[in-house]
């Protein structure tokens, strides 16, 4: 460790300490760190200490800084090391320990942005100099800021009543915290409620899900708003105001006993595209499934005879408690919560988008979701695996993997759950019928605990596996034995030969994809989506359930394809994060916000229109605009827009940015 000579400057002015990290050889291997430290010590304004050290983030490195702050009376600190996204917090804490306001610290990123992306030492060292110079010039103008403390409302909103949302809601409710669970459909349960068995243990989905559902329904701490949707979200962490629209059920919940007579008596039956995945029928007044929570039915006005022709009213006539109410209207509820957990799930890829698989044209091509209903004892065929004619049992079934997944024309990503569902389907078919099952895969990916073993089990049970993506499914018979069958044409890539297999039934393992309204929904909650449309987590590895918006968390398949165990884990994780916030009672909000100098504000209201968070309100009485620091997210767009230049962006004000510009251009010919 070399200790650079002091340049004596800094008397009166700021006293800056500069610390250049080797990060082992990660930085030192490409940047002459000692030279950079020496140069900073001699060349840069206000620098009174400049050191280089192996690992600044180590406790020794941090202690060195704290030591200097005390001994050398430093009032500014700059660390040239890795990305601020990694260690800014670390060093801010170190400064705070030594009594220096953390906002008087600045970081220069000479690892990710210099040593790791450079090829020559000379230019790399120059770039490090410039980056450091920028930080040093800037830090001189930084001002002490105090984080703002906000009380956290202990109530939480969970959006989405699938297994992830249910888990999150129950974790919090069991901890004695008030939760409101909002579900779009008439009942909670999500996709899991449609499934028959669950891999790899094959326990029946309903058996493990319905107890959790009724727990939600009965829990003293859970307010369940089913058949409802979030309309608007205002506010910020600790104190959100949410507007929820409760769609009219046309059934008074307080009066309804859930006896179901209305459903029996309803003369109008229609195809159920949601719960039965288009494979079964329901009435115009319906409950998605017998164990639905809540138990109250809803009237589908689109197909109800009364709503179409004004006649019928059968349901109302036969309802002894008189719960049916055709006059009911949508109502909006306003809710105050401290945190929000999104668990809005996924939807299945539209398999008609791959016409060569014949879905929608060839009757006996089914989607994975349709098949879940087909082998579900509560499904349209009471669990009998039969062809579209409803009676014939298949003799041979082909399972096609990666339909819409791992396909750059549709979704480049792997949907993660299909391999295991395919194995599960294979098992169910072999168990319930005498049919052969053929799986066509590109790569078999049974990735978690007990999954590979399940694959082996299916190998033993005699399921056939072919490595090759199916090219097409056709009803055009060519060879003997193909007449009247569906023919699957493929290359067996392990044989290197093109083959055809006549089958009776084809299952398409459709991709899991983001809900059609995912992006619009993300905007509503102030979140962003990846290119694919999955909600973006704060950090892919280290912060998977938090988001860039404090107080809003995500869980389950809305963040990416996930199976049940993973979704449950995330639901619990999100709940734990929220619980943490609540038990702390208050959160500190980074004071990096904008401020208006009302003295000189002309009240032109340009800034108001700039803010998507409604953080800027116009005070007509005083003809000035005012910023609510709790709602300001600190983007600084209004700062740049203010024609009078009277808005200051804390920690990113003009002076600071200007001097950083001067710094990084220290060596430019001026």
Which pairing describes strands 616-619 and 624-627: parallel, antiparallel, or unpaired? antiparallel
Rounded Cα–Cα distance for residues 217 and 166 (Å): 10
- In the list 15, 76, 92, 111, the residue contacting another protein (rule: CB under 8 A) is 111
Count Cβ atoms below 10 Å from residue 661 Cβ, excluding itself.
12
By C-beta, is 212 or 287 nearer to another protein? 287
Q: How far is the CB of 268 from another protein (least distance, A)?
A: 7
Distance of CA 511 to the CA centre of its chain: 18
By C-beta, is 294 or 468 nearer to another protein? 468
Q: Give the total residue count for the chain.
A: 670
Q: Is 311 in the site for another protein (CB under 8 A)?
A: no
Quote the tokens at residue 397.
């079934």
- In the list 152, 610, 631, 646, the residue contacting another protein (rule: CB under 8 A) is 610
Q: How far is the CB of 333 from another protein (least distance, A)?
A: 22
Site string for another protein, 262-281 (x = CB under 8 A): ------xxxx-x----xxxx
Q: Which of residues 436-455 bind another protein (CB under 8 A)?
A: 442
Say which DSSP state 3 is in.
Answer: B
Q: Which of residues 578-597 bind another protein (CB under 8 A)?
A: 592
Site string for another protein, 359-398 (x = CB under 8 A): xxx-x---x--x---x-----xx------xxxx-------
By C-beta, is 199 or 346 nearer to another protein? 346
Q: Which of residues 541-560 bind another protein (CB under 8 A)?
A: 548
Q: Is 635 in the site for another protein (CB under 8 A)?
A: yes
Q: Is 147 in the site for another protein (CB under 8 A)?
A: no
Count of residues touching another protein (by CB under 8 A): 124
Give φ, ψ of 33 to 5 degrees.
Answer: -65, -40
Quote the tokens at residue 60.
């020794």
Rounded Cα–Cα distance for residues 581 and 373 (Å): 41
Q: Which of residues 48-107 bind another protein (CB under 8 A)?
A: 83-85
Q: Is 421 in the site for another protein (CB under 8 A)?
A: no
By C-beta, is 134 or 190 nearer to another protein? 134
Q: How far is the CB of 137 from another protein (least distance, A)?
A: 11
Q: How far is the CB of 77 from another protein (least distance, A)?
A: 17
Q: Is 606 in the site for another protein (CB under 8 A)?
A: yes
Count Cβ atoms below 10 Å from residue 95 Cβ, excluding itself.
23
Site string for another protein, 188-217 (x = CB under 8 A): ------------------------------
CA angle 578, 579, 584 (to 5 degrees): 100
Q: How far is the CB of 647 from another protein (least distance, A)?
A: 11
DSSP string, 89-135: HHHHHHHHHTT--GGGEEEEE-TTTTGGG-S-HHHHHHHHHHHHHHH
Report whether 127 contacts 118 (CB < 8 A): yes
Rounded Cα–Cα distance for residues 396 and 374 (Å): 16
Quote the tokens at residue 627.
């910023």
- In the list 23, 37, 130, 164, the residue contacting another protein (rule: CB under 8 A) is 130
By C-beta, is 286 or 454 nearer to another protein? 286
Rounded Cα–Cα distance for residues 481 and 504 (Å): 12
- In the list 19, 56, 109, 504, the residue contacting another protein (rule: CB under 8 A) is 109
End-to-end CA distance of the chain: 35
- In the list 66, 171, 183, 660, the residue contacting another protein (rule: CB under 8 A) is 660
Q: How far is the CB of 390 from another protein (least distance, A)?
A: 3
Q: Is 641 in the site for another protein (CB under 8 A)?
A: yes
Rounded Cα–Cα distance for residues 416 and 533 (Å): 16
Query: Cα dist. 143→237, 561, 652 in Å?
Result: 25, 45, 10
């Amino acid at each position: 460790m070399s200790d650079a000579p002091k340049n004596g400057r800094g008397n009166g002015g700021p006293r800056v300490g500069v610390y250049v990290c080797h990060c082992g050889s990660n930085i030192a291997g490409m940047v002459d760190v000692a030279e950079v430290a020496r140069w900073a010590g001699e060349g840069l304004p206000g620098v009174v200490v400049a050191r280089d050290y192996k690992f600044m983030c180590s406790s020794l490195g941090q202690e060195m800084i704290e030591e200097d702050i005390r001994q050398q009376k430093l009032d500014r600190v700059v660390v040239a090391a890795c990305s601020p996204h990694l260690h800014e917090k670390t060093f801010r804490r170190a400064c705070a320990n030594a009594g220096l306001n953390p906002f008087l610290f600045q970081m220069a990123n000479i690892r990710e942005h210099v040593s790791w992306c450079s090829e020559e030492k000379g230019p790399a060292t120059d770039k490090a100099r410039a980056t450091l110079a920028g930080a040093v010039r800037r830090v001189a103008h930084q001002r002490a800021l105090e984080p703002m403390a906000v009380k956290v409302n202990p109530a939480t909103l969970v959006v989405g009543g699938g297994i992830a949302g249910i888990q999150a809601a129950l974790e919090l409710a069991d901890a004695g915290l008030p939760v409101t669970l909002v579900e779009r459909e008439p009942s909670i349960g999500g996709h899991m409620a449609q499934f028959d068995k669950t891999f790899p243990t094959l326990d029946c989905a309903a058996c493990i899900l319905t107890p959790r559902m009724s727990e939600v329904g009965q829990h003293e701490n859970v307010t369940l708003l089913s058949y409802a949707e979030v309309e608007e979200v205002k506010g910020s962490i600790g104190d959100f105001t949410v507007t929820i629209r409760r769609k009219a059920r046309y059934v008074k919940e307080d009066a309804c006993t859930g006896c179901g007579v209305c459903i029996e008596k309803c003369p109008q039956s229609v195809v159920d595209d949601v719960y039965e995945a288009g494979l079964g029928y329901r009435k115009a007044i319906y409950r998605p499934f017998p164990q639905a929570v809540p138990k109250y039915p809803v009237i589908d006005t689109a197909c109800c005879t009364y709503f179409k022709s004004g006649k019928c009213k059968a349901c109302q006539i036969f309802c002894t408690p008189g719960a049916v109410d055709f006059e009911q209207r949508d109502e909006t509820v306003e809710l105050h919560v401290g945190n929000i957990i999104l668990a809005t799930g996924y939807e299945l890829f539209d398999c008609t988008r791959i016409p060569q698989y014949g879905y929608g044209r060839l009757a006996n091509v089914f989607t994975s979701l349709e098949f879940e209903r087909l082998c579900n004892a509560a499904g349209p065929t009471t669990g009998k695996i039969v062809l579209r004619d409803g009676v014939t049992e298949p003799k041979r079934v082909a399972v096609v993997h990666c339909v819409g997944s791992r396909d750059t024309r549709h979704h480049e990503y792997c949907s993660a759950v299909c391999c295991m569902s395919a194995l599960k389907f294979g098992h169910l078919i072999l168990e319930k019928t005498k049919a052969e099952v053929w799986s066509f895969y590109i790569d078999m990916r049974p990735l978690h605990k007990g999954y590979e073993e399940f694959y082996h089990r299916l190998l033993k049970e005699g399921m056939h596996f072919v490595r090759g993506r199916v090219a097409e499914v056709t009803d055009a018979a060519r060879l003997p034995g193909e007449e009247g069958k569906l023919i699957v044409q493929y290359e067996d890539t392990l044989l290197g030969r093109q083959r055809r297999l006549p089958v009776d039934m084809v299952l398409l393992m459709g991709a899991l994809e983001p809900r059609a309204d995912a992006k619009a929904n993300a905007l509503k909650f102030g979140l962003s989506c990846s290119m694919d449309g999955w909600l973006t987590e704060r950090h892919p590895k280290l912060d998977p359930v938090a988001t860039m918006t404090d107080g809003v968390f995500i869980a389950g398949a809305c963040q990416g394809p996930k199976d049940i165990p993973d979704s449950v884990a995330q639901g619990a994780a999100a709940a734990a994060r929220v619980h943490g916030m609540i038990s702390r009672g208050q959160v500190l909000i980074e004071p990096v916000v904008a401020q208006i100098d009302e003295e000189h504000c002309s009240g032109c209201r340009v800034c108001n229109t700039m803010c998507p968070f409604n953080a800027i309100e116009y005070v007509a009485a005083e003809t000035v605009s005012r910023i609510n620091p709790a709602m300001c997210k600190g983007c600084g767009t209004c700062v740049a827009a203010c024609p009078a230049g009277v808005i200051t962006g804390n920690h990113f004000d003009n002076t600071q940015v200007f001097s950083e510009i001067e710094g990084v251009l220290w060596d430019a010919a001026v």
